[in-house]
Amino acid sequence: MAVPSTDLEWLTYLALRHDAEKPELEALDHYYEGTQPLAYMHPEIQREVGDRIKPLVLFWPQLVVDAVEERLDVEGFRLPDEDTADDDLWRVWQANDMDEQTQLGHVDALVMRRYFVVVGSNEADRDTPLVTAESPLEMFADIDPRTRKVRAALRRVLEQDDLARLGERYATLYLPNRTVWYEWGEGGQGWREVDRDEHNLGEVPVVPVVNRGRLSSRRDRHGRATRRLGTSELAPIIPLSDAANKIATDMMLTADAHAIPLRGFWGLSPEDLTDKDGNQLTAIQAMMRKFLTLPQPEGDGAQGKEFEFSAADLKNFHGTVELLARQASGMAGLPPNYFGLAADDAASADAIRSRETRLVKRCERKHRSFGGSYEESSRLVRRFQTGEWDPRLRQLETIWRDAGTPTVAQAADAATKKFQIGIVPLRQTREDLGYTDAQIRRMEEEDEKALQRDPVGVIARGMTGEPVPAERDGDAQPVA
């Protein structure tokens, strides 16, 4: 297909591609939310059970996604030749609540392959451009196969109050040199342009944050979206989750029908069953008591006889669910205890870190790929601020919180030893210990005061790694 040439052609083209992909994205979202339909259940059983037994859904997809997302925390941006983080970029980031929005975006990217960061001008404050996180259910981007850059992007918003009547109501088309806003015309008149911004950036201000993108641009065997636009973290988990939900639901059905011993009586009818007050038991009461009555054959003068069937053993269901959980644990790179399974090794600190090796490495891979998108969006922010591209920002790096889970004592011991032998400076040591840039600046101010009070003592303590003493209230002398 030829590349669209007009704005409306781009809008129509992107909308058609997005509509073709949305059902699959919505299905992935249902798995994360635990609202997916039950698989592997025979239709006859479903009709027989009806609404009496609800499907038992094990939230394994949500567990897999959240375990990764909880370790993806952006803490700032920094140039390689700078000692501290870029305060202005972080100010814009926080002014747009991106520290909160990225958490939501990471979930969408892990579940639905990607999300988008959009940068735009802010008429109220030019120094603080607008930065938003957008769901893949509302936005779609076309990627140039040669440059790997966004060629055009479309965001459509549904008017919730008139959803059934109007459907898509608002749309925003993002192109390299302009952004165009549309409304859906009354009476089915189609899209009507309402405003545009000729920003002349030369680049689409939309940055995809792609999860597990692939180099190949071809579609998979089901004709689904190109793999360059990402892969869901749930892809290997969904078949195992479907199987586990089926087994868990079967277990509940079996428990309802056979887990309670069934007592039977020969020679009695349902009318003969009464409670302690002589009131006849209803059908529901008899069912809950697991009674089975069989009429006495004619001509047999024997009295009613009682017998009992043994209750069903549910251990076979337990074993199957545990097997599936171990398979899911291996596919997701999560420790078995995340799935409620007992681990073979002792629960020591070293054992815990060993179990999380694959999880930590997987999160660090996300740091690199997601960080590249955030660095690109930061370059757009500076372009909107100054009107020029800053070539220094091509070396910008994203600062992430450590994805590992070392103990405080271990982290402090390792950071102190590296400082003592001269591998890293004091500021890097404090960063390794997890202090924020503001906290480190306050520490440096206190270090400067201490240096002025007792320069010899501070230098000596710095060589041995001992802490710098704090100043006593009302006392300008160093603490002994």
* pLDDT per position as a tens digit, 168-195: 589 999 999 999 999 987 766 788 899 9
**Into how many domains does the chain fold?**
3
Q: 83 and 175, same structural domain?
A: yes
Q: Is the pLDDT of residue 478 over 50?
A: no
Give the model's pLDDT for residue 235: 92
Give the mean pLDDT of 74-101: 90
Banded model confidence at residue 328, pLDDT cuts 50, 70, 90: very high
Same domain (yes/no): 170, 184: yes
> When comparing pLDDT for 334 and 414, which is higher?
334
Lowest average pLDDT, out of 130-144, 316-330, 357-371, 465-479, goes to 465-479
The predicted pLDDT at position 406 comes to 54
pLDDT at 453: 79
Looking at the structure, tell me whether residues 202 and 302 fall in a common domain: no
In a domain, 397, yes or no: no
Is there a single domain that holds both residue 201 and residue 262? Answer: no
Burial class, 380, CB count within 10 angstroms (exposed 0-12 / middle 13-18 / buried 19+): buried
Closest by CA to 241, choosing from 32, 478, 29, is: 32
Nearest to 418 by CA among 407, 408, 428, 409: 428
Most confident of 46-50, 135-139, 166-170, 279-283: 135-139
What CA–CA distance (Å, rounded) separates 137 from 125?
A: 29
Residue 291 lies in a domain: yes
What is the dihedral sign for C-alpha 266, 270, 271, 276? positive
Segment 403-453, tens digit of pLDDT = 886 556 667 777 787 788 878 888 888 887 878 778 888 888 888 888 887
Higher-confidence residue: 479 or 465?
Answer: 465
Q: Indicate the pTM of the whole model.
A: 0.76
- Burial class from Cβ neighbours inside 10 Å (0-12, 13-18, 19+) for residue 75 reads middle
How far is the CA of 280 from the CAs of 225, 270, 285, in angstroms? Answer: 63, 8, 10
pLDDT, residue 261, reads 63
Cα 70 to Cα 182: distance, rounded to the nearest angstrom: 37
Give the separation between CA 31 and CA 39, rounded to whole angstroms: 12
- Average pLDDT over the chain, rounded to whole? 80
Q: Which of 143, 136, 132 is nearest to 112 (CA)?
A: 136
Residue 349's pLDDT is what?
66
Q: Out of 217-221, 390-394, 424-428, give the one with best mean pLDDT.
A: 390-394
Is residue 315 domain-shared with residue 440, that is, in the same domain?
no
Domain co-membership, 191 together with 303: no
Residue written as token pair 């001509």: 299
136 CB neighbour count, 10 Å cutoff: 27
Cα 261 to Cα 270: distance, rounded to the nearest angstrom:
18
pLDDT of residue 348: 67
Residue that has been written with the tokens 């850059």 in this structure: 149
Identify the CA nearest to 267 among candidates 288, 293, 287, 238. 293
Q: Which of these three, 200, 215, 235, is where a domain ends?
A: 235
| Polymer length in residues for the chain | 480
Q: What is the pLDDT of residue 419?
A: 80
Q: Does residue 307 or residue 58 have the better pLDDT?
A: 58
Q: Which of 258-267, 302-311, 336-345, 451-460 has the highest mean pLDDT?
A: 336-345
Amino acid at 397: E
Same domain, 177 and 98: yes
pLDDT above 60 for 113: yes
What average pLDDT does range 311-333 have in this prediction?
85
Please report which confidence band the pLDDT of residue 150 belongs to, taking 50, 70 and 90 as the band edges. very high
196 and 323 both lie in a single domain: no
Structure-token pair, residue 217: 């641009």
What is the per-residue pLDDT for 264?
60
| Exposure of 422 in the CB half-sphere (CA atoms within 13 A) | 1
Distance CA 181, CA 120 (A): 13
* Most confident range, picked from 69-78, 350-359, 471-480: 69-78
Residue 1 lies inside a defined structural domain of this protein: no
Instruction: Answer yes or no: is pLDDT of 358 > 70.
Output: yes
Mean pLDDT of 97-119: 96
Same domain, 231 and 264: no
Share of the chain above pLDDT 90, in %: 41
The answer as to whether 2 is a domain residue is no
Give the pLDDT of residue 109.
97
Residue 65 lies in a domain: yes
Last residue of a domain, one of 302, 320, 345: 345
Residues 181 and 264 in one domain: no
Residue 27 lies in a domain: yes
Q: pLDDT at position 474, please? A: 45
Average pLDDT over residues 356-378: 93
> Any idea which residue has 């698989």 for tokens?
39
Note whether 89 and 202 are same-domain residues. yes
Q: Which of 77, 107, 79, 109 is nearest to 93 (CA)?
A: 77
| In a domain? residue 172 | yes
Boundaries of domain holding 317: 239-345
Q: What pLDDT is stored for residue 233 in this prediction?
A: 94
Predicted confidence at residue 158, as pLDDT, reads 79
pLDDT above 70: residue 302: no
Identify whether residues 210 and 249 lie together within a single domain: no
Q: Is residue 396 part of a domain?
A: no
What would the pLDDT profile of 234-275 be if each residue is shown by its tens digit?
A: 999 999 999 999 888 888 777 766 656 666 655 566 666 666
Task: Please identify, among 235, 263, 281, the residue that sits at the C-terminal boundary of a domain.
Answer: 235
Confidence of residue 472 (pLDDT cuts 50, 70, 90): very low
Q: Is the predicted pLDDT of residue 8 greater than 50, yes or no?
A: yes
Cβ–Cβ under 8 Å, residues 404 and 362: no
- How many C-beta neighbours within 10 Å does residue 170 have? 15
Q: For residue 125, which of 95, 100, 97, 102 has the smallest C-alpha distance?
A: 95
The dihedral built from the CA positions of residue 338, 343, 348 and 351, taken in this order, carries a sign that is negative
